[in-house]
Amino acid sequence: MATSGFTDLREKLQSMVPHNRDAHSKRREGNNNKRKHDASEEEQSDPEELRETEEARKVRSGITQLSVFSADECALIEAKIDEVVSRAEKGLYREHTVDRAPLRNKYFFGEGYTYGSQLEKRGPGQERLYSKGEVDDIPDWVHELVIRRLVARRVIPAGFVNSAVINDYRPGGCIVSHVDPIHIFERPIVSVSFFSDSALCFGCKFQFKPIRVSEPVLLVPVRRGSVTVLSGYAADEITHCIRPQDIKERRAVVILRRTRPDAPRLETNSLNKVVLSVSSERQKILKPKRSRRKADPDAAHRPRILEMDKEENRRSVIPPRRRQRSGSGSEHWRRSHEAAGSYSQPDDSSSFVRKVKMRRH
């Protein structure tokens, strides 16, 4: 002990305490820093965020956008779209060429198909092409001004398009999340935008009354005169939509597609059933209004009592012979009710009415 300079072991232990405290505090700081580092790594590697980031990357891989049409070319095509709208308002197209919806009208050319409430059975995979000749042919201006330009830019091959749809949106219009029917249309799906800029959203969920839309997995700006091509994951594995908040001005889009040769098609009889089912559904919506007045428990019986009173009054003015002849029917009615045990002899006319009323009730 003397050589170490301490005469008491307690003094030696006390001299070592500051050193131990320093070591302990350093270890604690090291652990805290490690926890912060681990927490930051966990925040950066949130599974949900990673999944959405990965899905957004997959969606982008299936999207191609090109700026093809100049402002002057857009103005020319937009004038042609206005002509389509005017012809539709005059009733110059076939019945299934025009499909009207709130804040959005759809015009089918070449091929049209049933969807949404038009389906006999709801759900993906139930869509059907209309029978041949139910919609108008693709207008010449679509071939000359739109399709030919896209073929020249090698966006689509020659002869690819046999279905053209024009969607005409008003401000606040939308189209809910959907996948273009895989069993009806080949890929790619080509759309050309006109009148104003907008956005195409992927992976949104819609809720209604009031309408609400969840945040998209990916939002793709769509400019006037631009061409958007969907294929792969973006066309087949995730829904796309147009949100109401993204249509601030009138906007129209020309969708160019090719139908599959084996796509299911409605027969004429089935088409008639679809029209009838839609009309019957509309009739079911019109329900009779219910009165808000309180029900009168005697209301159902009062008309009968009044008729009885009229009968009694009529009998009182009948000559005696006719009264005796007509009384046989009343006597028969009385006897039949006496046999059933449901009739009691009335004391006077007022009690007769009262008891009949109770019996009827």
Longest dimension (CA), the chain: 154
What number of residues does the chain have?
Answer: 361
Question: 251: which DSSP letter?
Answer: E
| Catalytic annotation, pick one of 93, 107, 113, 130 | 113
115 tagged catalytic: no
Please give the angle made by the CA atoms of 209, 166 and 179, to the nearest 5 degrees: 60
Please give the Cα distance from 250 to 101 (Å, whole number). 15
Closest C-alpha to 85, from 105, 57, 109: 105
Contacts of 306 (CB under 8 A, 6+ apart): none
Please give the Cα distance from 245 to 174 (Å, whole number). 8
80, HSE (Cβ side, Cα atoms, 13 Å):
19
Question: 259: which DSSP letter?
Answer: B
Please give the Cα distance from 127 to 179 (Å, whole number). 11
Closest C-alpha to 361, from 266, 293, 309, 296: 296
What is residue 205's three-state secondary structure?
A: coil
Chain CA centroid to CA 52, Å: 24
Tell me how crowded residue 315 is: count the other CB atoms within 10 A of its CB: 13
CB 259 within 8 A of CB 185: yes
Sole residue written with tokens 């409430």 = 117
| Strand ranges (E), 156-213 | 163-169, 175-178, 189-194, 198-202, 206-207, 212-213
CA Rg value for the chain = 41
What is residue 108's three-state secondary structure?
A: strand
Distance set, CA 42 to CA 30, 32, 33, 50, 56 (Å)? 18, 15, 14, 11, 21
Write out the catalytic residue numbers. Answer: 113
